[in-house]
Structure 1
Amino acid sequence: MNGTRVFESLNAEWDVVCAEPGHAETVLGWLREGGIPLADTATAGGLSEVLAELGRRGRAQGRGHSDRWLRVLLERAGGEGAGALLAARVVVQAMVPAAMRLTRRLQAGRDFDETGQVVLACLFQVVRCFPLGRTSGAAANLLLETLHLASRELKAEGAEYDVVLYPFLDEVLVGEPAVDDPAEAVWAGVLGQRAVQAGLLRDGEGIDGARGELVELLVWAVDAGRMDVGRARLIAEETRAGAQRAGVSAVAWRKRRSRAVRQMRAVAEQWVQAA
């Protein structure tokens, strides 16, 4: 696939890791020692099948199961030697889909593969140094720490080339994400926090669906200097479901909405060019 060479290379490397004799049995042994038993048949398809089985169980049993087996491997990944590198590599591979989504979020104004290289390097570093004192949310915290580290590095690089990134991406969230997808949970958290700070969301208002896309675009426009925060708040208010137009004629209301659409179209074009 064009523009995803860094992840294609990672997957090709994963095939080599899976082909190494004994890797599947080693990882299966670690999991059993950590109280995550898998059937011997899980090793029949090699290490890739072990990871696939863990994924299936995670979807069936929920985030708690994923947290448990991730922590078993994260404990190993923080050590030394070939075993630690193998454990880290398994965790990184498990996080590849989320890392790809995170790369798209952070891509603004730069090559996808270049951004992906930064994200993957940061992810591997986080996996090797993960703070095991945290009791829950292993997957979400891995992505959160990666977001924190990668955004700082990309922001430093972007300053050299006048690339506009989301300035708030290095903020650390507190609390457990509310959805199952760690990448989306992390992003929704920082986006929602920033939108509230900018006055674009009311208390209790979510950022799902089309509304979330509009809020994300407005946040980017404000932080990138493409729109005044007052104007962004006005658009957010006018486009809110059930927005009141008391004292405003139907003609004036339509003109106001048309003006907002024109401005948002221009901002959206700039956003697409940056991304």
Structure 2
Amino acid sequence: LERDEQGYIPWLAEKWDVSPDGKSYTFTLRTGVKWHDGKPLTAEDVKFSFEYFVKNPPVWDELNINGKSTIQTIELLDERTLKVTVDNPNATILGRLGNARIIPKHIWGKVDDPQKFITPEAAIGCGPYVLKEYNKEQGAYRFEAFKDYWGPKSLAEIVQFIPVSDGVLAFNKGEIDLTAISPDLLSKYEHNPEFAVKKNPAFWGYRLIFNMEKCSVLKEKSVRQAFACAVNKGELVEKVARGAAVPGNAGYLPVDHLWYNPQVRQYDFNIEKARELLAGKKLSFTLLIANANDEVRIA
């Protein structure tokens, strides 16, 4: 399955049904889907994929919760239909099943250790592009459009990924055609007719996550509330993101997430309230950030 802001949309599965008790999921696959080697994709491949990832959680652990598989049985109804039954109703199950990578049984069925399977066969899938070249020394990939792809025709016949130390510099030199830019550089390209700037919602947001085991004072709710009051999110959006962001809110889910709840209590910037909440408390902590220039600047 794929997902947009409205919910789940058909992808390899053209339709699905959930039983009234929320424990059985029946998927019907599209017709005519082929693997990159020309063999047909069937419900047997999907069943195999789910079972394979349950047995090999380091490869994909989404089908396990707290180290235990959520799947009780997988029943093949026909070549295009399968029924998955889980142990208990869970709002995340459809997303977990829909996000799982589907792999060809005729290839992966012979692989005992997936972490050591790095031959070209490992890249055989059913997506819009086929891996044609891989340069291990350079870390470069070359993909070509898959002629038998079931979905829309690819806009680009060839796509290459090459490693560069500075994406913006390589872009300016004409070495690459597409790169991500930081908000600081947005105006430089946005008003230049030689370039096309595309803005899309990010799949992530910047979060401040507390490790309450290492810093006991963070276990106090009032301390965490003080942090929420002390962060001026509007200023961060304006000065750090140059307006190319939206303020985040309390909770783990971003505001554009399907399950985001706008009714959850929010905290406006209020430095005086933060001081009040921290009054009399000694606060010392370590801030861990990613080792990347943009991440350091934002922190």
Q: TM-score w.r.t. structure 1 length?
A: 0.26
Which one has a bigger Cα radius of gyration? 2
Larger fraction in strand: 2
Q: TM-score w.r.t. structure 2 length?
A: 0.25
Larger fraction in helix: 1
Higher relative contact order (CA 8 A, sep 6+): 1
